[in-house]
Amino acid sequence: MKMKKVLIVYETLHGSSEKCALMLKDQINHETTVVRLKESEEIDLSAYDIIVVGGSIHMGVLHTRVRNFLEKNYEQLMQKPHGLFLCCMEQGDTARLQFENAYPEKLRKSAIANGLFGGEFNFKKMNLFEKAFTKKVAKVKASVSKINLDEIRKFALEISR
C-alpha cells in the first residue's frame, strides 16, 4: 500500500479538538500532518492526498476558523478524499444534529469518514463566565471527559484504507 499524505486541520477553544486530532494522527497508517488553523491559515491542500477537518461545538456553533476554512476551501475539499470530525458533549441524535448543522450536506455525504469524537469540559482552561455557564447549562460541577476512543479508531481505519 502506497503511503498517502494526510492533513488534519482543526481549531480548538479549550483543547478537546487538539487532543482528538493528535489521537487521530497516532492511529492513521499514513504520513500525517496536524495543523491548528489559528497557527496557519494559508495551507497548500494540493500537497495532501486526504484532508481531515475537525472542530468543536460551543454554544451550538462550530468554531469560526473551521467554518471559514470550509468556506474558503470547499471546492478543493470536494475534489479530494476528506473526513470530518466534531467534538461535542452531546450524544445520540442531538450530537448527529449538531454535526449536520456544523458541516455542509454535500461535504458530509462525500466524506470517506465522519466522526463524532465526544468532548470535554476542561474547567482549567475556562474563564469564570465559561465555568459558570457550563455549570448552569450542562449541570456539571467539575471537569469531565467523554472522548470516544472507539470512534477515533474507527475514523482512523476509514482514513487509512
Q: Domains in the chain, please, with CATH?
A: 5-160 (3.40.50.360)
Pairing of strands 61-62, 50-58: antiparallel
Q: Give the amino acid at 20.
A: C
Contact 86, 54 (CB under 8 A): yes
For 51, phi and psi rounded to 5 degrees?
Answer: -115, 130
Spatial contact of 115 and 147, defined as CB atoms under 8 Å apart: no
Nearest to 156 by CA among 80, 74, 66, 54: 54
For β-strands 113-116 and 144-145, DSSP reports them as: unpaired
Q: Which pairing describes strands 120-121 and 144-145: parallel, antiparallel, or unpaired?
A: antiparallel
| DSSP code for 3 | P
CA dist., res. 21 & res. 89, Å (int): 16
Q: What is the mean pLDDT of residues 107-121?
A: 96
Least confident of 32-41, 57-66, 129-138: 129-138
Q: What is the pTM of this model?
A: 0.91
- What pLDDT, on the 0 to 100 scale, is given for residue 153? 98
Average pLDDT over residues 115-126: 90
